[in-house]
Amino acid sequence: NSIFLRVSEKMELTFLKLLSSLIIWQNMGFLDMTVPSPTTTNYSTQKNLLVCRFKVYGPIPKQKKSMEIFNSESNIIYPNDPSKVHEGWFYSMGVLKLDGVLDLLSESDGTLLYSINIKALLSSEIRQINHSIFQSSNILYIGIIKKLRSDYFNKSNKPFININDISIDTPSSPFFIQNSKHKFNELKHCTNQRIILDFDLHIDFEDWFVALLSLTSREYVGMHSSYNKSNSLRLSKKIKIDVIEATFNSNLQKSLKQIGFLGIYTAIHFWNCTWARSSVVKSSKSPFWREEFDVDAPLSWESFEILIKACLKSDDSDDSKNFKLKKTFLNFNPKEQSQYNFNDLLIGKVKITKTIIKDSNNNGEIWIPIYNYYGNKVKVGQICIRISLNELFILSPTNYLKLESLLLQLPFKKLINFFKSNKLVDGMENLEENSSMLLDIFQSLNIEDKWFSSLIEEELNDLQSIFNKASSNQHSKSTENDVLMKTASANCFNTLFRGNSILTKSIEKYNFRIGQEYLEKTIGKIVLKVSNQGLNCEIDPNRIYEKNALMRDAILKSNFNNLLKYMEETWKTIYSSSADLPHPIKYEMKIFRDKFEESCGNLEKELAYQLILNCTTGFIFLRFFCPALLNPKLFLLAKDHQVGSNKRTLTLIAKILLTFSNRGRFGAKEPWLIPMNQFIEKHELELKDYMDKITNRKPETFKKHLDLSDTVIRPEINIQDQELAKELPSNPFLIDKYLRMTQFSSLI
């Protein structure tokens, strides 16, 4: 038997409460229910900010034997003593209330496990954990950071920081709040008072991050006696670290080989904890990473460390010979090894100070000595890094009202010309940073469509003369017109896509921001399959070193079939998911095609269509799909950089996909790729159909099947302090609007 309930659209929050309650009751069953009803707080009499099901890492009551506990990663941030507190991952229903209390309910029977006092925290103690730690961007750290507090309160030479009712070790109210009906005495043994939340959807992560921040104690700079919310002053410290490569001395290389190392990685270490790490590189002589990390440093920041670690074979950890090597050469202390992973050996460290950052700002890439982690006087190698610190003071939101009004009415053409004429987008670093800043500002103001339209118009102005010339000669000899068509097409494609501009850099970031989840569920599956299968797809005869001609031909045939299967699967994945491509990306594609059709209005119909199709395919393939295949780690689709045959396979897939999107053909320049022309010809009509669908020229024929979060209705977050709400990161996308406006002001 079934019943159907319909809740009014105006009662969305009520619907979410009902749904969460039904989910809890559904999990109780009939035979396993141990209590007649959930012994939870009566939420009907209280206002809740958010309700969500997520995975929690935190203390687990011993009496909750029915709870499903997941395996614990070895890189948990601030682990507690396992002999005193039982911790692990478990699913819970979280209820965040307006009074700042987060209740964690048991998913098995709906009872209250314990509560978290969010108002006992500083805003810096709600942190997004870097993707590299748990291979997810949806994880939040919530808890007291002792080193942060000691830095704030123990140094009299620091600028005054306005924080109310917060102390170092003993907050005015406890972090963990006991369930009065079911005491959880182990909580008092938690030396590290924190929990970690893992959300299934990134939109839930964004909602909770903003809501939690609204309940914490904000951190401002200024005299305590003169503190006023309307005249507050925030200090932003953005650190960008590019860890490039390292070299080690011969003694260390020899020791690492003797103890059976599997690879070397770096870890960004501050507040006595690792918050980000690089991928593992299998080299003991000169590992190369080239990985970039962004760190939001607190007001009290002075220095941090880059740790260099070696992954060891797990069966070597108890070997007496290897242990002796670790102890004699590296002064190894097994008790200290538990900071990240017991089997990962700390072989060196680099302390990063403001002096080093200043040196890097002046000289770019710098080499810094690596010292033994357990003895600063022993140098074991050197590391090449590039690092920058951007410090800005941010005024209260009321001070930006006039600037915000100005930006909403600004003629974008003049702004683009201003940035170009003043060389603010010259050089790749300036181009990327300032393009990103402008996109953030206009996206936070909800006028990114207008911004993209202006950028496209500016790009197309440079091509108008070519189109006009082709139009005036369209009745001339066909050979001459063919030359003009090819010239127009080549110039259009090269200018708009292969070159770097404010438009291309903005669209790259926008596509990634909007479409990362889509990429993960499409291209990510291809990357994972290539990585797991490890099939050889090399079809260049010059790269096949088999001397026997028959054997070489057999290898090439087998490799071609492998590559063709990957190509078919890649295109099928893209083509069949046209309905799932996020709407904002489709809308920008439509704007671009509309603008381009206006510019090609005087051209012969077929010529215009060819130009339009070539440019619009480049927009989505060259700047979205192909980069994700070429560098899946950068797009959060893989844990480590792809190497060897897997990297080559993904490069070939991207190369063929790009040629296919251009509707080109392989020829004498790369004769070994000519057989792939059959793939291009087979799917050419599908490509046209795909482009017509995603630019709103044809109705969609496929149904959505990827279950993306952009189809989920988001709850309205009721933040009572509207002035504070303006200061918080934007939702969605977590853009610090007033930080970006401050950067903009400093440029102009």
| Model confidence pLDDT, tens digit, residues 15-69 | 777 777 677 566 544 333 333 323 333 444 457 889 999 999 999 887 666 778 8
More confident residue, 225 or 259: 259
> For residue 244, what pLDDT is reported?
96
For residues 704-715, average pLDDT: 85
Q: In the predicted model, is pLDDT for residue 397 greater than 80?
A: yes
Q: In the predicted model, is pLDDT for residue 238 greater than 60?
A: yes
Query: Pick from 399, 684, 449, 748: which is nearest to 587 by CA?
Result: 449
Q: In the predicted model, is pLDDT for residue 323 greater than 90?
A: no
Q: How far apart are CA 222 and CA 159, in angstroms?
A: 7
Q: Which residues pair with 370 in a beta bridge?
A: 381
> For residue 609, what pLDDT is reported?
84
Give the percent of the chain with pLDDT over 90. 55
Q: How far apart are CA 29 and CA 19, in angstroms?
A: 16
For residues 321-340, average pLDDT: 41
Query: Pick from 625, 595, 604, 617: which is nearest to 664 by CA?
Result: 617
Average pLDDT of the chain, as a whole number = 84
Q: How far apart are CA 49 and CA 211, in angstroms?
A: 7
Return the top range by mean pLDDT from 39-53, 132-146, 171-185, 494-508. Answer: 132-146
Return the minimum-mean-pLDDT range out of 5-9, 129-133, 700-704: 5-9
For residues 97-103, average pLDDT: 94
Return the minimum-mean-pLDDT range out of 100-114, 124-138, 321-335, 507-521: 321-335
Q: Global pTM? A: 0.85
Q: In the predicted model, is pLDDT for residue 539 greater than 60?
A: yes
> For residue 202, what pLDDT is reported?
93
> For residue 44, what pLDDT is reported?
42
Task: Categorize the per-residue pLDDT at 339 as very low, low, confident or very high, splitting at 50, 70 and 90.
Answer: very low
Say how many C-beta atoms besides its own lie within 10 A of residue 513's C-beta. Answer: 17
> For residue 720, what pLDDT is reported?
84
Q: In the predicted model, is pLDDT for residue 95 greater than 70?
A: yes
More confident residue, 30 or 140: 140
> For residue 375, what pLDDT is reported?
66
Q: Which residue matches tokens 């302390």?
A: 351
Task: Categorize the per-residue pLDDT at 72 as very low, low, confident or very high, splitting at 50, 70 and 90.
Answer: low
Return the top range by mean pLDDT from 262-271, 539-548, 568-577, 598-607. Answer: 568-577
* pLDDT tens, residue by residue, 726-736: 999 999 999 99
Give the percent of the chain with pLDDT over 70. 81
Residue 170, helix vs strand vs coil: coil
Q: Give the distance, in angstroms, between the CA of residue 209 and the centroid of all CA atoms in the same chain.
A: 15
Q: Which domains does the chain have, with CATH numbers?
A: 9-231 (2.30.29.30), 234-392 (2.60.40.150), 515-706 (1.10.506.10)
Task: Categorize the per-residue pLDDT at 537 as very low, low, confident or very high, splitting at 50, 70 and 90.
Answer: very high
CB 425 within 8 A of CB 419: yes
Q: Which residue matches tokens 């897939």?
A: 653
For residues 334-339, average pLDDT: 36
Q: In the predicted model, is pLDDT for residue 527 greater than 90?
A: yes
Residues 86, 92, 97, 101: what is their CA dihedral angle, to the nearest 10 degrees? 0
Amino acid making up residue 434: N
> For residue 325, what pLDDT is reported?
43
Distances (CA, A) of 429 to 275, 369, 436: 25, 26, 11
Query: 150-155 long-range CB contacts below 8 Å, 24 or more apart?
Result: 151/298, 151/300, 151/301, 151/302, 152/298, 152/299, 152/300, 155/300
Return the minimum-mean-pLDDT range out of 59-73, 111-125, 344-358, 588-602: 59-73
Return the minimum-mean-pLDDT range out of 122-126, 164-168, 530-534: 164-168
> For residue 468, what pLDDT is reported?
60
> For residue 39, what pLDDT is reported?
31
For residues 311-334, average pLDDT: 48
Query: Pick from 58, 139, 148: which is nearest to 106 by CA?
Result: 58
Residue 619, helix vs strand vs coil: helix
Q: Which residues pair with 270 in a beta bridge?
A: 273
> For residue 155, what pLDDT is reported?
54
Tokens of 4: 């159907």
> For residue 170, what pLDDT is reported?
46
Q: How far apart are CA 209 and CA 141, in angstroms?
A: 10
Buried b (16+ CB within 10 A) or exposed e, 657-676: bbbbbbeeebeeeeebbeeb
Q: How far apart are CA 200 and CA 709, in angstroms?
A: 10
More confident residue, 151 or 49: 49
Distances (CA, A) of 434 to 178, 439, 498: 49, 8, 19
Q: How far apart are the first and last CA of the chain?
A: 67
Q: In the predicted model, is pLDDT for residue 167 greater than 60?
A: no
Task: Categorize the per-residue pLDDT at 141 as very low, low, confident or very high, splitting at 50, 70 and 90.
Answer: very high
For residues 70-94, average pLDDT: 82
More confident residue, 14 or 429: 429
Q: How open is the CA angle 601-606-608, to the nearest 5 degrees?
A: 35
Task: Categorize the per-residue pLDDT at 333 as very low, low, confident or very high, splitting at 50, 70 and 90.
Answer: very low
Q: In the predicted model, is pLDDT for residue 282 greater than 90?
A: no
C-alpha radius of gyration, the chain, whole number:
29
For residues 159-182, average pLDDT: 62
Q: How far apart are CA 565 and CA 563, in angstroms?
A: 5
